[in-house]
Structure 1
C-alpha cells in the first residue's frame, strides 16, 4: 500500500489482513506517524501604524500573514465592525480598499489559524485644512503698533465631513497674519511663521483704521481666515477699537 500526498489525518495504526475460506489472519500492527510542521501565525507585512489620507481620498491597507497551517486574514473597523465576510476569508493576504474616506478611524488586521490569533491596528488619519482661529483680540495700541491675541480650537467645521477629520492644534505648523488699511485699495501685508497665539504688529501708520486676519496653517495648507478685527491706531495717546 502506498499513501501519496500524506496528510495529518493519515496518521494511525495499520494492519495487513489476509482472508480466505478457512479464516482471517492479521499481521503485526505498524504505527504511521505524519510529521506536521506547525508554526503559529505571524505577520510578514503588517499594516503600518498610521496611514494618512486627504479628505475624500482613497487608501489601500495591506496585511500579509504566514504560518503553518496558513492563517486566514480579515479586517475589522473599530472594536467590532467586521469588514471581511466570514464565508470569504482570504488566506495569507488581505488588502482593504477604502474609497472616499472622510473620517479618521482605527482598522485592525486579524490573522487566525488553529494555532492562534494575532492582530495589528492601523490608524487611517484624515488630513484636512485647519479651521479658522477665533477670538481675535487687539490690545496695547500705539500710533504704530498693535498686539494681537487669538485662540485655536482645532479642525475645520465642515458638516459634510466626519467629526474625526484631523485639523487639531497638534497638527498645526504656524499662523499667518494679514493686514492693511481697511479702505485702502492695496494688497494685504503678511506676517508668516508665527508659532505663538499672540503677536505685536509694528510699522503701522498713525491714526489709521486697519483690518487684521489670522490664518492657521498645517501640512495640508492654509485654512480659512478668522473673522476680521479692526482697529484705529493711536494719535497722541488715543485709540479706537472695533470688532466685526
Structure 2
C-alpha cells in the first residue's frame, strides 16, 4: 500500500505469506514495483514478499500392482505438485531410466507401455530444488487361463449352434466370463459372442 504526504512517500508491506491463499507456496523472494505519478511527486516503491515453499508430493496415487495379459498395454500416470515445480521421470528395475531427468516433463509424466511380456517394477521420481520423492508400482503379466474343457456341440439348427463346456475352476482367480469366437465356413472374418448363462 502506497501513500504520500507532500514530497514524501511511504510504503507499507503486507505479509501475504501469513494468509491461507499463499499457504501452498514456497519461500522465495517476490519483488515488484509500484509507481505513482501525480502533480506532486513521482514515486517508486520496491517491496519483497516472502512466499512459502512446499516440498513435492504425489497428488495422483499409483496402485501397488497393475495386472495385464501377455502382450497387453497400460498407461502409468504420475503427477507431482509443490513449489518449485518438479521434473517427473520414470525408471524401471536395475536403475534403467526411461526419461532424461534433465529434460523430463514438469509436474506430470505418463508412461505408456505396450506389448508387455514380463513382470516389471516401475518407479516414478519427482525432483525439485527441495529434494526428491519416489513411488514404485509393479506391472504384473498374468497368463491367460486355460481353454475350457470338454467343449461339445449340443444342438444344431438351420440358423444356430448350441455348444457347452465344463466350468473352469481356478484357485484365487474366479472366471468372470467366457467369449465364444466363431466364423462361418470359408468366411475370412470371425464373430464373438459372450454367453449369458456361463457355460452354454
Match of 1:84 in 2: 99
Residue 78 of structure 2 is aligned to residue 67 of structure 1: no
Match of 1:111 in 2: 126
Whether the 8 Å CA contact 2:168–2:175 is kept in 1: the answer is no
Match of 2:69 in 1: 54
Whether the 8 Å CA contact 2:149–2:165 is kept in 1: the answer is yes
The alpha-carbon deviation at position 89 of structure 1 amounts to: 1.1
Match of 1:122 in 2: 137
Which of residues 21, 24, 43 is equivalent to 2:58? 43
Q: SS at 2:102's partner residue?
A: helix
**Following the alignment from structure 1 to structure 2, what is the Cα–Cα distance between the partners of residues 177 and 44?**
46
Computed over aligned residues only, the root mean square deviation of the Cα atoms, in angstroms, reads 3.8
The alpha-carbon deviation at position 194 of structure 1 amounts to: 5.5
Whether the 8 Å CA contact 1:128–1:220 is kept in 2: the answer is no
Q: SS at 2:74's partner residue?
A: strand
The alpha-carbon deviation at position 219 of structure 1 amounts to: 7.2
Shift in CA distance, 114/57, structure 1 to aligned 2, threshold 3 Å: same
The alpha-carbon deviation at position 93 of structure 1 amounts to: 0.2
Shift in CA distance, 43/10, structure 1 to aligned 2, threshold 3 Å: closer
Aligned residues: 128
**Following the alignment from structure 1 to structure 2, what is the Cα–Cα distance between the partners of residues 127 and 220?**
17
- Name the larger-Rg structure: 1
**Following the alignment from structure 1 to structure 2, what is the Cα–Cα distance between the partners of residues 131 and 193?**
8
Q: SS at 1:58's partner residue?
A: strand
1:1-244 → structure 2 map (5 Å cutoff): 8=28, 33-130=48-145, 192=167
Give unpaired runs (5+ residues) of structure 2. Answer: 1-26, 32-45, 151-163, 179-200
Whether the 8 Å CA contact 1:130–1:217 is kept in 2: the answer is no
Instruction: State TM-score, norm by structure 1.
Output: 0.43
Whether the 8 Å CA contact 2:29–2:51 is kept in 1: the answer is no
Give unpaired runs (5+ residues) of structure 1. Answer: 1-6, 12-30, 133-175, 179-188, 197-215, 222-244
Instruction: State TM-score, norm by structure 2.
Output: 0.51
**Following the alignment from structure 1 to structure 2, what is the Cα–Cα distance between the partners of residues 195 and 91?**
44
Match of 2:5 in 1: none
The alpha-carbon deviation at position 72 of structure 1 amounts to: 1.1
Shift in CA distance, 45/10, structure 1 to aligned 2, threshold 3 Å: closer
**Following the alignment from structure 1 to structure 2, what is the Cα–Cα distance between the partners of residues 195 and 56?**
22
